[in-house]
Amino acid sequence: MHRIAILGASGYTGAELVRLIATHPAMRIVALSADRKAGQTMAEVFPFLRHLDLPRLVKIDEIDFSQVDLCFCALPHATSQAVISTLPRDLKIVDLSADFRLRDVAAYAKWYGQPHAAPDLQAEAVYGLTEFYRDAIRDARLVAGTGCNAATGQYALRPLIAAGAIDLDRIVIDLKAGVSGAGRSLKENLLHAELSEGTHSYSAGGKHRHLGEFDQEFSALAGRPVQVQFTPHLLPMNRGILATVYVDGDPGVVHATLASAYGAEPFLQVLPFGQLPSTRDVRGSNFCHIGVIGDRMPGRAMIVAVLDNLTKGSSGQAIQNANLMLGVEETAGLMLAPCFP
Amino acid sequence: MHRIAILGASGYTGAELVRLIATHPAMRIVALSADRKAGQTMAEVFPFLRHLDLPRLVKIDEIDFSQVDLCFCALPHATSQAVISTLPRDLKIVDLSADFRLRDVAAYAKWYGQPHAAPDLQAEAVYGLTEFYRDAIRDARLVAGTGCNAATGQYALRPLIAAGAIDLDRIVIDLKAGVSGAGRSLKENLLHAELSEGTHSYSAGGKHRHLGEFDQEFSALAGRPVQVQFTPHLLPMNRGILATVYVDGDPGVVHATLASAYGAEPFLQVLPFGQLPSTRDVRGSNFCHIGVIGDRMPGRAMIVAVLDNLTKGSSGQAIQNANLMLGVEETAGLMLAPCFP
Amino acid sequence: MHRIAILGASGYTGAELVRLIATHPAMRIVALSADRKAGQTMAEVFPFLRHLDLPRLVKIDEIDFSQVDLCFCALPHATSQAVISTLPRDLKIVDLSADFRLRDVAAYAKWYGQPHAAPDLQAEAVYGLTEFYRDAIRDARLVAGTGCNAATGQYALRPLIAAGAIDLDRIVIDLKAGVSGAGRSLKENLLHAELSEGTHSYSAGGKHRHLGEFDQEFSALAGRPVQVQFTPHLLPMNRGILATVYVDGDPGVVHATLASAYGAEPFLQVLPFGQLPSTRDVRGSNFCHIGVIGDRMPGRAMIVAVLDNLTKGSSGQAIQNANLMLGVEETAGLMLAPCFP
Amino acid sequence: MHRIAILGASGYTGAELVRLIATHPAMRIVALSADRKAGQTMAEVFPFLRHLDLPRLVKIDEIDFSQVDLCFCALPHATSQAVISTLPRDLKIVDLSADFRLRDVAAYAKWYGQPHAAPDLQAEAVYGLTEFYRDAIRDARLVAGTGCNAATGQYALRPLIAAGAIDLDRIVIDLKAGVSGAGRSLKENLLHAELSEGTHSYSAGGKHRHLGEFDQEFSALAGRPVQVQFTPHLLPMNRGILATVYVDGDPGVVHATLASAYGAEPFLQVLPFGQLPSTRDVRGSNFCHIGVIGDRMPGRAMIVAVLDNLTKGSSGQAIQNANLMLGVEETAGLMLAPCFP
């Protein structure tokens, strides 16, 4: 059993890590941190975990990292950089924050509004989109989990960009996201009374930070700068992301390219041509369902990708990466079926 | 007080008509029909209306139309054609179905899969998007209410197409719709357990019937064929439509064009540039809120329009049209503030 | 037109007052206060009200009360006492807080954990359950709006206690409440991700403050101390309260007593015996629906009462009381039909 | 690996069985039936299961039961009796319907409105509330799964009745239930637009069929007839039951009795005295959380029990029973942590 620490265990991604590790065959939680809630039990912070025998929440500096095989950092953005800088340099780390996703520290400064505090760590970080960085992740010490929206969009688009199957200047990603992606934070627009029975866009107009990831990854794939239009919308549901992606390209080629790219992937399911997925069908799981349909206008295609932001978009991805880093089977602990209805 | 009949009063749009007329200063309901529920009271079919003194539900042929000043038809598609053909030819009618929206009966046959059963009535029908057909509606005998999705998209786009402010070949309408638009019909995908906490697209790929309205109206405005891409998504909320419209055009011009076009409209509210609306802010009301924002890519703009599908998208619009037809103030009975939270 | 001020206009009950007054035939808003949001427009704080021509939000001391006919106080508990003490002593006031509901200041201190700060004002305050204090309210200067839960339970029980129709020692009120009753406050348990798709009780075990109102009113009616068991539950819905009330008494007598008591009431609707109401049927309205059913065990009855906590339970009640105080028809502005679905 | 058949796999409890067996270490699905959907794949009927390699849906008479070790029957009430009568008499069966829950066939006829069609099978059936019938279930051939509401109420009350800790004539069970308990059936009141944002009681007044189970079990425990008051309410959530149980008894004794009875149970978690549970904390899991609190009135206590109707209330319970019948560890496949948020 590999010994696991989770930093930032009092947030939703921290709790989701615990949920998944609860039935993981090769991981055992030995330390849990939560700065403001240190001293409490997880049952107090998350009563849904009360059946588990878990260590009490502590402050980070109370953890003996020599007894830890791998550490998940589920800390807020910016905090992660500072904390990881203080951890042992031989400790395997999967970071779930945005702090190490952008290889170019100038891009980080642009999108996150402050200089990067740990450029040396950034240099060694591997981008954590498992299916596309598998070999590097296996050998990595520090893996940077992707944004949940960024993951969804990339699953829909990477093979198409790599194959030259679509017009790179006409990509629109209209995304619908559940509210847990915003975390357990006290913001007025996240209240049930504000959010329930309504929808609205946010961070529209090319301002959402996950654009930094799209720019980095799509440009690298294409070998030239690529910019996409990307608009997220907040939906009255707790889990799930649905990305509707509009492209110029032959629908049949688009579908065949994705089906071929993902045919052997355990978690990426490409639906038959013309069928489109629903977020309800991946809730609570590490699966991503992808569908393709053609428009009545020739040469226009639409890809719809769905995943659970807390699982495949964040904590499930993190465990998938940790499995690789620890030499465990990649799917270990992650084959839980979605929870429907 | 004008004497009002409502045919098809046991559906959601019928009930919404009754809700609005309940406090309308110049309308009085004298007849309500519901084929399968004839003989029941409205309180039995819709207990939320139990405080009202309403006529009992009857079959259509039991209504004495000589005592009716205006008739709303909230019947299913195709049924409406057959029924209206049997009504007195001098009766003012506002039809809420799709049966008289498409001026070209060939287009009707294409989108609805059957020949039009009343082409002579079609010839006299006026398309009911009030703000753009006001004069014709005032003089009309038969007005065809628009599709709720079609109304939302047109509010976002008509002034822009008329002004030549956008590229007509690059219009994408990504629409998010609440479930009441599907009516009170027993379909598995409309069950709470199927729909709650999830989202999916439907009628994707250029197949949704409201495309017939977009094609008709946008092509007429532009003076040449215009096709848009249009994808609706079903959201776990009861009321509301949000249309995210992607266009190629100068964002400032787009905003100024809409603000200018709608400045005097009582129900169309254009937000300050860069602000985007939420469906929660129009729930239960006849208002439509419209926002515009620019993308980071120059020359790309996004318009977001929201309205309540049952009110501005259907029954509120119908009353607005009926007010014009009856010589009543256009806003009569329709200034109810939205219901938030 | 009576000139209205609303103090605390940035909360849900404040917004609900504005929503209702928007179509009120005899009220005009001349002042709106919000301490921390002074200087903003209502459209900024509540975009759903953007179509209205409203005064800008100010601090309370900026209001000229000589130009105000009636003032609604929608301030937090305890704040209300302090503020009202500073207002002109001839100003008509409807207070929506808990500050003046309990006639016995010792009871206030017990339930609210602090001494009453304005016992002289308390002495003149009239309890605002309109149907039972109508005459006193008509003549009152200061009316104390009831708790929303307290109103629901009282509508179910008052006539039964007054008539001696039930066992006073065996009353159980199991209440289900929507989330807007907790206000627009940033609490973790009010987040969509915490609340959606789940339910739990709160303030259980005889601790909820509205018990103070039940004790006061029921004991006064009975002429001896009466205590009830009362457990509220939080439900994933924005508006609505449903009280399931278990009593020992003859079901037929219970129903007849309520039907007789409320037969002439415009807002209280007693359903036929054996039918039970749903919160969806009163949403956004000032109506209260009440049903009675008998158990299989003889001598046991159940009363179910539903109302909208923001309307009949708070702001609608406040306007109903203000109508009386201003000599306006009691139902003015309050006949809006519920908003379903 | 034990070979499993599921009859009625196209309903929610059937799908939940598949979800749980997907990661069960000792069960393998060899046959799935669905009468009207025979010929389809599970991925077509339940896309959330598309990652699994499952047999195609067939009609029951196409199944070779000699290759089946245990059969789950998730068929509608009444159908189950007829079907099980035709199955081999040595086949281990866990029935999830109501058909074999009531030992007295006269009670069955009373509550279900028709004579029992298989009284001989009824005679051998064991009531499936695992924690209380463990030994009999281990040796049983036919186990009758309990009602989900009946299970919740019994977890709250059985130890108290057995210990004589409460007044048997003053038990009130006020229950709140998610909508999946009603199954995947096309009923108007289960539509999202009808159910969302509202609540109402159903089968009130001593008419709900699960009362038959309460009567049977509580009377047997007490050694004399016991009747409870029981009112279920439908809530806008997909999964979960919360039972608020009002009893006359000493709160401390009530808590101690439950804590003692369930101390060694893997799935029954009694919270510290005064803490009450939430349905969100058991969603998708086989756990039941139970809390106890005292009222301000001495001698009155309240027990709140929560579980997931599809898991601990139905399919999880069924697997727990099947584990015992197959000689597998009782908790096998059932330790999945709840899915929150």
pLDDT of residue C102: 98
Measure the CA–CA gap between A166 and A160, rounded to whole angstroms. 6
A150-165 tens-digit pLDDT: 999 999 999 999 999 9
How far apart are the CA of D197 and the nearest CA of chain B, in angstroms?
A: 9
User: Hey, is C81 helix, strand or coil?
Assistant: helix
**Which residues of chain C have a pLDDT value below 50?**
none
- 3-state percent helix, strand, coil for chain A, nearest multiple of 5: 35, 20, 45
A93 C-beta neighbours (distance < 10 Å), count: 27
Chain A: partners with 3+ C-beta pairs within 8 Å: B, C, D
What DSSP character marks residue C187? -
A228-239 tens-digit pLDDT: 999 999 999 999
Pick the residue from chain D with its C-alpha nearest to C292: D205
Interchain CB distance below 8 Å, C176 and D176: yes
Higher-confidence residue of D189 and C24: namely C24
DSSP string, D271-309: PPTT---BGGGTTTSS-EEEEEEE-SSTTEEEEEEEE-T
Mutate: best of C36, C179, C184, C192, partner A, most A CBs <10 A: C192
Measure the CA–CA gap between D210 and D313, rounded to whole angstroms. 12
pLDDT of residue C262: 98
How far apart are the CA of C267 and the nearest CA of chain B, in angstroms?
A: 8
Ranges of H-type helices in D25-69: 42-45
**C-alpha distance from residue C173 to each of C149, C229, C273, D296 (Å):** 10, 6, 20, 14
pLDDT band at D120 (very low <50, low <70, confident <90, very high): very high
Measure the CA–CA gap between B311 and B181, rounded to whole angstroms. 11
Do the beta carbons of residue D193 and residue B238 sit within 8 Å?
yes
Which positions in chain A touch C188 (Cβ < 8 Å)? Answer: 184, 186
In terms of Cβ atoms closer than 10 Å to its own Cβ (0-12, 13-18, 19+), residue D239 is buried
Measure the CA–CA gap between B21 and B44, rounded to whole angstroms. 19
Q: Per the structure block, which two tokens stand in for D156?
A: 């709250």
Superfamily of domain C149-308: Dihydrodipicolinate Reductase; domain 2 (3.30.360.10)
Nearest to B287 by CA among B257, B263, B313, B323: B313
Q: Per the structure block, which two tokens stand in for B88?
A: 């007195």
Interchain CB distance below 8 Å, B340 and C50: no
For B149-309, the fitting CATH number among 3.40.50.720, 3.40.50.800, 2.60.40.180, 3.30.360.10 is 3.30.360.10
Sheet containing B27-33: order of strands: B57-58, B27-33, B2-7, B70-73, B92-95, B142-144, B126-127
Residue with tokens 């929610």: D12
**Which residues of chain B have a pLDDT value below 50?**
none
Q: Per the structure block, which two tokens stand in for A225?
A: 């700068």
Q: Per the structure block, which two tokens stand in for A273?
A: 């041509």
D303 C-beta neighbours (distance < 10 Å), count: 27
Q: Pick from D12, D186, D196: which is nearest to B192 by CB?
A: D196
Bridge partner residues of A241 (DSSP):
A177, A307
Cis peptide leading into residue D272 (ω within 30°): no
Interchain CB distance below 8 Å, B191 and D188: no
Nearest to B232 by CA among A174, A309, A208, A178: A174
Nearest to C280 by CA among C311, C317, C318, C241: C241
Measure the CA–CA gap between D18 and D43, rounded to whole angstroms. 12
Q: Pick from C239, C284, C336: which is nearest to B23 by CB?
A: C336
In terms of Cβ atoms closer than 10 Å to its own Cβ (0-12, 13-18, 19+), residue C139 is exposed
Ranges of H-type helices in C88-242: 105-112, 119-124, 130-139, 148-162, 192-195, 210-222
D113 Ramachandran zone, left/alpha/beta (phi>0; psi -120 to 50): left
**Rounded to a whole number, what is the distance in angstroms from the first to the last CA of chain B?**
33
Between strands B172-177 and B241-248, the pairing is antiparallel
Do the beta carbons of residue D66 and residue D90 sit within 8 Å?
no
Q: What are phi and psi of C230, to 5 degrees?
A: -145, 120
D253 C-beta neighbours (distance < 10 Å), count: 15
What DSSP character marks residue C286? S
pLDDT of residue C243: 98
pLDDT of residue C107: 97
Interchain CB distance below 8 Å, B190 and D191: yes
Measure the CA–CA gap between A123 and A133, rounded to whole angstroms. 15
Sheet containing B229-234: order of strands: B200-201, B229-234, B172-177, B241-248, B300-307, B288-294, B268-270
Mean pLDDT over the full length of chain A: 97
Q: Which residues of A are known to be catalytic? A: 148
Do the beta carbons of residue A72 and residue A17 sit within 8 Å?
yes
Interchain CB distance below 8 Å, B238 and A170: no
Do the beta carbons of residue D95 and residue D83 sit within 8 Å?
no
Interchain CB distance below 8 Å, A337 and D278: no
Chain C: partners with 3+ C-beta pairs within 8 Å: A, B, D
Interchain CB distance below 8 Å, B236 and D12: no
Between strands B268-270 and B288-294, the pairing is parallel
Interchain CB distance below 8 Å, B280 and A200: yes
Bridge partner residues of D172 (DSSP):
D229, D246
Mutate: best of B173, B226, B238, B278, partner A, most A CBs <10 A: B278
Q: What angle do CA A323, A324, A328 make, to 5 degrees?
A: 55
pLDDT of residue B60: 98
pLDDT of residue B172: 98
Taking residues D233-248, what's their average pLDDT?
A: 98
pLDDT band at D306 (very low <50, low <70, confident <90, very high): very high
Nearest to B20 by CA among B309, B310, B265: B310
A237-266 tens-digit pLDDT: 999 999 999 999 999 999 999 999 999 999
**Alpha-carbon dihedral angle through residues D143, D144, D146, D147, given to the nearest 10 degrees:** 150
Q: Pick from A201, A277, A297: which is nearest to B229 by CB?
A: A297
Interchain CB distance below 8 Å, A193 and C236: no
C interface toward B at CB cutoff 8 Å?
Answer: 12, 15, 18-19, 22-23, 46-52, 180, 196-197, 238-239, 266-267, 269, 271, 277-278, 280-285, 287, 289, 335-341
Bridge partner residues of D126 (DSSP):
D143
What DSSP character marks residue C191? B
pLDDT of residue A29: 98
Interchain CB distance below 8 Å, A238 and D278: no
Which amino acid is located at B281 in the chain?
Answer: D
Q: Per the structure block, which two tokens stand in for D252?
A: 């401390």
Ranges of H-type helices in C207-279: 210-222, 251-262
Sheet containing C142-144: order of strands: C57-58, C27-33, C2-7, C70-73, C92-95, C142-144, C126-127
C interface toward A at CB cutoff 8 Å?
Answer: 12, 179-180, 184, 186-188, 190-197, 236-238
Q: What are phi and psi of D180, to 5 degrees?
A: -65, -20
Which positions in chain C touch A194 (Cβ < 8 Å)? Answer: 184, 192
Q: Where are the domains of chain D?
A: 2-146+312-326, 149-309
B interface toward C at CB cutoff 8 Å?
Answer: 12, 15, 18-19, 22-23, 46-52, 180, 196-197, 238-239, 266-267, 269, 271, 277-278, 280-285, 287, 289, 335-341
Q: Per the structure block, which two tokens stand in for C4?
A: 């209205």
B74-120 tens-digit pLDDT: 999 999 999 999 999 999 999 999 999 999 999 999 999 999 999 99
Do the beta carbons of residue A243 and residue A150 sit within 8 Å?
no
A2-146+312-326 is classed CATH 3.40.50.720: yes
Pick the residue from chain C with its C-alpha nearest to A185: C188
Give the CA count within 13 Å in the CB-facing half-sphere of D242: 30
